[in-house]
Structure 1
Amino acid sequence: MKPLIGVSTYLETSAKWGVWDLPAALLPTGYPRLVQRAGGLAVMLPPDEPATAASVVTRLDGLVIAGGPDVEPVRYGAEPDPRTGPPARERDDWELALIEAALASGTPLLAICRGMQLLNVALGGTLIQHLEGHTAATVGVFGEHPVKPVPGTRYGTAVPEESAVPSSHHQAVDRLGKGLIVSAYAGDGTVEAVELTDERWVLGVQWHPEMGEDVRVMTALVTAATRETLPGGSSGLSACPSRSG
């Protein structure tokens, strides 16, 4: 049976299709298509009451926290930089609750771009509010740059070679959250992937795998989610030894 992978969504006050212009919970099709290409079943998770997150996560085999707007700086105890975007408080509340529920239940978790930043914040880390060179010069267009994996990490095992990735972000991880290590870097030293070192399958990537052709990161999540559903209750997850970041 294919594992059920939940993907968090945007919540917009105005979206257009056909003759309609209405509030909408939406998600770029790259996300569900990547889940499907990796062998999973995709389901959208629009913002809801945070108290319902644990109940939602118990119905899933895996969770993806999608990219999107900047995390509100108050979440990590900082004053907003003038270049930080407007807050998306409903998404922050909901996705933080989803992350906490996944961490508590051991549900495999892949956090993408904003999702990786929110994962770091959920574990007590902080963010760099603005950096140059990681967003394409043209607004609404993804750039591309190489990332180098850290050998021996989950990410480094899934993608052992340096590879070019589609990217669009102006914020990044600063102080790592509790239990996280770095598993990939950009050439300028920017943290590009983080993961937990215990038996829980938790990985964050700063780029957008849904915008590229490389399915290996999502395949690793789907594989972990499939093992979670094996008969007999065995998770099938191997623990990674502790490593310094």
Structure 2
Amino acid sequence: MTCEDTGDRQPHYAALHRLAQAGTEQITQVMLQTAPRMSSAHSLAEQITAALAEQSVQVPGTDSAGEIVSGLAEALAVLLKRRDILETRVAALLEDHPLSKVLTSMPGVAVRTGAGILAEVGDASAFPTAAHLASYAGLTPTTRRSGTSIRGEGPPRGGNKTLKRALFLASFASLSSPESRAYYDRKRAEKKRHNAALICLTRRRVDVLHAMLKHRSLYQPGHEQTA
């Protein structure tokens, strides 16, 4: 954990004894720099200070370990900053695409998922039907067989994993919308487990998505509730 003030690097608190020396107020300030809206920062800092006060064993090599942790934290901060920069660029590219508003009008589809879907599907003209798109994404249930007997359908396997992940993430995020939640809850009421219900929702949303891309039309509420 580090603290910065006017661009100058302050003491590192990666080692437990250094964190204990920082005190409650300093720990609180560090927390609030990272999470300004954290209302429980002071209370949590007090708990940390109290726990550290009970620490009586000094493990050899603690300082060295603290330096390693601090270095890893700094490297992670750089990576996170680069990720934010890339996300901003991706958002700008997505915004400029003619299908941007069509994609993001669908509940659960944000910058990352929208960019992922667009990169793998394009305008969906390569897929004659929604079933073709679902198959490409690996959302078609597979039939389990044993010899000459059929043991039922299992979860879908294979397909375009990047697209499948983007579609699943979008479906999960869409559960906050009434239409997706109603469809998901209906599948759960049919005794389907969470993953199976989410697969059903994702498959249904592929039908809707394919129609949206094909006709360049914005999302219309209620589509997930049918079928």
Q: Which has the larger radius of gyration?
A: 2
TM-score, length of structure 2 as denominator length: 0.24
Higher helix content, 1 or 2: 2
TM-score of the two chains, using structure 1 as the length reference = 0.22
More strand by share: 1
Question: Larger relative contact order (C-alpha < 8 A, sep ≥ 6)?
Answer: 1
